[in-house]
Amino acid sequence: MTTDKFQVSLVQWQDSISSLRAVREAVFILEQRVPEALEWDAYDPVSIHVLAMTVPGGKPVGTARLLSDGHIGRMAVLMEWRGKGIGSAMLRCLIDKARQDGMAEIKLNAQVAAKTFYAGFGFQETGSEFMEAGIPHVKMFLLLSAEVT
């Protein structure tokens, strides 16, 4: 039975590696065909990660990360869990964490298909469209003094 209930938590890579990897493998490597060599990098162990898990059950269904320079990345939600508020909850969690850490600005490389999602949180597009891992992206930023809905 599928439930729409989930919880979002900040986690460390080393404490939740199997759950974080499971979501990113399903979304980026299998679904979006990002080469595995591009998916894993040296930023994973030093980033703050957010993990969405089902309640009850504890199945990982979403993840994203925040680098120390204010870059949000690797935002992923399992296909069958999209549209249930998980991405919004994870993004709010990372925005709150960045504010708590005193960051003045956060930025991300949004897949073009997701830029409207980020714009809904106040992110602004900057620069031209570019390709990353074979997927069209655009750079976006949010000044943390700006109002977040």
Q: What is the DSSP string of 7-65?
A: EEEEEEHHHHHHHHHHHHIIIIIIIS---HHHH--TTGGGSEEEEEEETTT--EEEEEE
Regarding beta strands 105-111 and 71-77, do their DSSP bridges make them parallel or antiparallel, or are they unpaired? Answer: parallel
Domain count, the chain: 1
Asked if residue 148 is part of any domain, the answer here is no
Two tokens, residue 37: 């060599």
* 15 in any annotated domain: yes
Residue 116 belongs to some domain of the structure: yes
Q: How far is the first Cα of the chain from the last one, in angstroms, to the nearest whole number? A: 32
Position 1 in a domain: no
Residue 34: CATH number of its domain: 3.40.630.30
What is the predicted pLDDT for the residue at 146?
Answer: 52
Q: What is the pLDDT of residue 1?
A: 32
Residue 18 included in any domain: yes
Enclosing domain of residue 88: 6-143
pLDDT in tens, the chain (149 residues): 344 799 999 999 999 999 999 999 999 999 999 999 999 999 999 999 999 999 988 999 999 999 999 999 999 999 999 999 999 999 999 999 999 999 999 999 999 999 999 999 999 999 999 999 889 999 999 999 755 54
Residue 78 sits at φ, ψ, to 5 deg, of -55, 140
Determine the pLDDT at residue 2.
45
